[in-house]
Amino acid sequence: MSDGIVKLDGVQKYYTMGKVHIKALDGVSLDIAKGSFTSISGPSGAGKSTLLHIIGCLDAPTAGRVRINGKDMGAMKDTELTRFRKRSIGFVFQFFNLVPTLTAKENVLLPKMFDRDKDGERADRLLRIVGMEHRADHRPNELSGGERQRVAIARALINNPPIILADEPTGNLDSETSLDIISLFKKLNEGGRTVILVTHERDIARFADKSIALRDGKVDGRPSG
């Protein structure tokens, strides 16, 4: 357990929507090993995305402890969390979330928008790795769904983060493209990155070497793999 890059201990997340209290996460404890490929699955409303957002420091738990890469997230200030997120975590979303006015390469460079060193060469290299170098100057509306997701993956890698969090990355793609994208994640994982992927597709989940099932905000059974 000592090499766990993501450790959650009794994490709870409660929302209040109007007068309704929602237990999105209800005492989740996890230990995800460095360099692993973990899938988080579960039915809609099980708390998958909430869990991913908490691991990605986008959201704070109502209770419980979160340690990422050995650091206690609860002890960090907002600016520290932002910096940590930028350096340590790459996000990939179901709807790609590319900026429509920017080209593929500019989208890849988006996290470095304010950096003095824009590192255009690294963006080119990443586009080559995801097989998008020939589409670098194209805008998202000129790209297919799979191509957009490749660009989004390259964007997630621009700061060379050790952890990649993907929220239903194939949810908007056909099955063939989905396999291509998952292969890409697998390749990144083999390169040493920790990949945590939320999916409700069993075909995708089987690529992971660990699967965590969530149900009603709780881990459903023991992690497999």
Partner 1 sequence: MVKRFGVRNYISRNIRRRSLRSGITIVGISICIAFFILFASISQGLKDDILEEIEERRAEIARQRAGYITIMNIDPFNMDFFNSTELEQVEDLVEDYCIAQNTSGEVFPLALNFLEPTDPNSDAIYILFGVDPEKGIKYDFIDFDAESVSLNGTFLSTDSERQVILGNGLWEKNYPASGLGDAIDLQTLSFVTGESIAIENVTISGIMDSNPLYDQFAAVPIEFLLEEVGLYDPVTGEYQYFLASIYIDDASKIDFDELEAGIKDITGISDRGIDDNENYINRIILEHEAEIARQEEMERTVNGWLLAVILLLSIITIVGISNTMLMSVTERRREIGTLKAVGIARSRVYQIILSEALLLVLIALVIGGLSGGLISIYFGMQYEAGAGGLFFAPTSLSPFVVSYVVAISLVVGLLAALYPAWRAANLNPTEALRYE
| Residue 54 C-beta: closest distance to partner 1, Å | 9
Cα 104 to Cα 106: distance, rounded to the nearest angstrom: 5
Cα 119 to Cα 133: distance, rounded to the nearest angstrom: 15
Taking Cα atoms as reference points, which of 83, 44, 50 lies closest to residue 64? 50
Which DSSP category does 36 fall into?
-
Alpha-helical segments (H) within 32-157: 48-55, 78-88, 104-109, 120-129, 145-157
**Closest CB to partner 1 among 33 and 110?**
110
Place of tokens 């929507």: 17
Q: Is 105 in the site for partner 1 (CB under 8 A)?
A: yes
Q: Is 129 in the site for partner 1 (CB under 8 A)?
A: no
Parallel, antiparallel, or unpaired: how do β-strands 37-41 and 194-198 relate? parallel
Q: Is 168 in the site for partner 1 (CB under 8 A)?
A: no
**Which x/- pattern over 22-51 shows residues binding partner 1 (rule: CB under 8 A)?**
---------------------------xx-
**Closest CB to partner 1 among 60 and 179?**
60
Q: Give me 59's structure tokens.
A: 């959201």
| Residue 198 C-beta: closest distance to partner 1, Å | 12
| Residue 176 C-beta: closest distance to partner 1, Å | 26
Q: Give the CA angle between residues 156, 162, 168 to the nearest 5°.
A: 50
Among 124, 180, 201, 209, binds partner 1 (CB under 8 A): 124
Taking Cα atoms as reference points, which of 58, 148, 185 lies closest to residue 199? 185
Among 46, 69, 106, 146, binds partner 1 (CB under 8 A): 106
User: Per CB under 8 A, which region of 30-38, 109-117, 180-188, 215-223 contacts partner 1?
Assistant: 109-117
**Closest CB to partner 1 among 70 and 100?**
100
Among 30, 109, 188, 205, binds partner 1 (CB under 8 A): 109
| Residue 137 C-beta: closest distance to partner 1, Å | 7
Query: How many CA within 13 A on the CB side of residue 98?
Result: 29
| Residue 109 C-beta: closest distance to partner 1, Å | 5
Residue burial 51-74, b: 16+ Cβ < 10 Å; e: rest:
bbbbbbbebebeebebbbbeeebe
Residues that bind partner 1 (CB under 8 A): 49-50, 53, 56, 58-59, 78-79, 82-83, 85-87, 89, 91, 93, 95, 97, 99-103, 105-106, 109-111, 113-114, 118, 120, 124, 136-137, 155-156, 159
